[in-house]
């Protein structure tokens, strides 16, 4: 059963209690609810893409179901296996609290260093920012409708590059990013230890006055939020000292 007409199908995941720690892989989906049934942990309220995602498939011995008429059917089956369990459902972040390691936010010794790696992400997230070249942006601005620029803020980076923030993104070639709060990650990638996102934020950007741009090699750059201005032909022209006739 693959179709999700109008989002009306409800999905469930059953996992043996001994694999409870593996549910950390889906804890970032805060809308999920968790219930405990003897030796099983049940999770519900998945979206269609989530129940088929790599995060769910990688949970050992997890079994996915869809609901129909208060009965649960294994995915890709039209034969019911059991009724929907009657449980006390709790938000996943309450049912599975995270125990973070003790970290010194001001200094990392040899045994306290936090290794941050980016890995491929199996579910899509909306891109909200872009890095492209000034020449690509300038060519677009020559004929771009003003309404497409109103929600975009921008600033100049080094090496003739510019940073654009806002949706919908402009139809330009460049590197795109999605957001975890003020952390901007390359499209298609996420932190290997994404449950530490808040800790990473506090260490790198405690005042939250910057956008933190992560690169594919797990390095990052900081851009002060106050340096961003609304994109317009005039702001571009003044920043690069282009004569008026060019735009």
Q: Is the Cβ–Cβ distance between 51 and 75 less than 8 Å?
A: yes
What is the per-residue pLDDT across 45-77, written as a single tens digit (0 to 9) for each? 999 999 998 888 888 889 999 999 999 999 989
- Mean of pLDDT over the chain: 84
d(CA 210, CA 225) in angstroms, rounded, equals 5
Domain membership of residue 237 as a residue range: 118-246
Q: How confident is the model at residue 241 (pLDDT cuts 50, 70, 90)?
A: low
Q: How many domains, the chain?
A: 2
231 and 127 belong to one structural domain: yes
67 and 131 belong to one structural domain: no
Q: Ramachandran region of residue 112, left (φ > 0), alpha (ψ -120 to 50) or beta?
A: alpha
Q: Computed from CA positions of residues 227, 229, 234, 240, in that sequence, does the dihedral angle turn out positive or negative?
A: positive
Whether 12 is covered by a domain: the verdict is: yes
90 and 146 belong to one structural domain: no
152 and 225 belong to one structural domain: yes
User: Taking the model in full, what pTM does it have?
Assistant: 0.56
Q: How confident is the model at residue 186 (pLDDT cuts 50, 70, 90)?
A: very high
91 and 123 belong to one structural domain: no
Whether 103 is covered by a domain: the verdict is: no
């Amino acid at each position: 059963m693959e179709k999700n007409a109008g989002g009306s199908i409800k999905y469930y995941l059953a996992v043996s209690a001994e694999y409870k720690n593996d549910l950390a892989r889906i804890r970032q989906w805060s809308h999920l609810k968790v219930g405990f049934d003897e030796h099983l942990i049940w999770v519900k309220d998945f979206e269609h893409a989530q129940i088929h995602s790599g995060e769910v498939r990688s949970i050992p011995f997890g079994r996915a179901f869809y609901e129909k008429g208060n009965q649960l059917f294994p995915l890709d089956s039209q034969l019911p296996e059991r009724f929907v369990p009657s449980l006390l459902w709790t938000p996943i972040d309450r049912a599975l609290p995270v125990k973070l390691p003790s970290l010194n936010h001001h200094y990392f010794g040899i045994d306290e260093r936090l290794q941050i790696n980016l890995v491929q992400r199996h579910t899509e997230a909306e891109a909200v920012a872009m890095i492209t070249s000034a020449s690509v942006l300038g060519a677009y601005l020559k004929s771009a409708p003003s309404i497409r620029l109103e929600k975009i803020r921008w600033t100049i980076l080094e090496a003739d590059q510019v940073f654009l923030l806002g949706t919908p993104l402009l139809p330009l070639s460049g590197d795109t990013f999605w957001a975890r709060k003020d952390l901007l990650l390359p499209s298609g990638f996420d932190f290997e230890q994404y449950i530490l996102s808040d800790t990473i934020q506090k260490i790198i950007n405690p005042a939250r006055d910057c956008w933190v741009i992560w690169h594919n090699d797990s390095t990052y750059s900081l851009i002060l939020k106050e340096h961003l201005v609304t994109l317009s032909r005039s702001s571009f022209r003044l920043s690069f000292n282009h004569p008026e006739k060019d735009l």
